[in-house]
Amino acid sequence: MSFDAVKIGLVSVSDRASAGVYQDQGIPSLKTWLQAALLNPIEFVEILIPDEQADIENALKKLADEHHCNLICTTGGTGPAKRDVTPEATLAVANKEMPGFGEQMRQISLHFVPTAILSRQVAVIRGESLIINLPGQPKAIAETLEGLKDKEGNSLVKGIFAAVPYCIDLIGGPYLETNPEVINAFRPKSAIRKPAQGNA
């Protein structure tokens, strides 16, 4: 069976990691999760930048407009601190806002910490790119994308990534196939594509 190739942009927003004070964990965590969750061949484009709105805006524009990334994930810079400007930068480059992603991310995080309400993550569309702000901590990144499961592996709260493949369908991107052991993508029956014929 053959799968469409997908190009994914990863942006880690951190003053200290970009200055080399400590090693960035956001991009490696995102890559590990996405490689496990998607069956598609992935080309990653990675950018590590400080908490500067102009830099974040420029990175998102470059990934969407020049690299034509179908999915762009940011990590970091979404809290209420003065230097946290990732949501502002993301909204500044948007054609459409997708508020359901931020609502669900906060709902997932509230199962773990009451301070989840301080998170300002947003998701937007720019052209044919879906841009999603994710948390900065590796554990929170996985929880947000994957959702919550009980001890038997049954879903308790849906992760946001279940909706990502169909969203990318709707904006003209490649058909993303997920690994059901990690997460099941949801599509209406009419949008489900039959496996390509003649491929092993």
Domains of the chain: 6-191 (3.40.980.10)
Q: Bigger pLDDT: 137 or 91? A: 91
Q: Say if residue 91's pLDDT is above 80.
A: yes
Q: Say if residue 197's pLDDT is above 70.
A: no
Given pLDDT bands bounded at 50, 70 and 90, which one contains residue 158?
confident
**pLDDT, position 73:** 98
Strands 123-126 and 6-13 come out as unpaired
Q: What is the DSSP letter of 108?
A: H
Per DSSP, helices labelled H in 69-109 are 86-92, 99-109
d(CA 45, CA 181) in angstroms, rounded, equals: 26
Q: Say if residue 198's pLDDT is above 60.
A: no
For residues 74 and 133, the answer to whether their CB atoms sit within 8 Å is: yes
**pLDDT, position 168:** 98
Given pLDDT bands bounded at 50, 70 and 90, which one contains residue 157?
confident
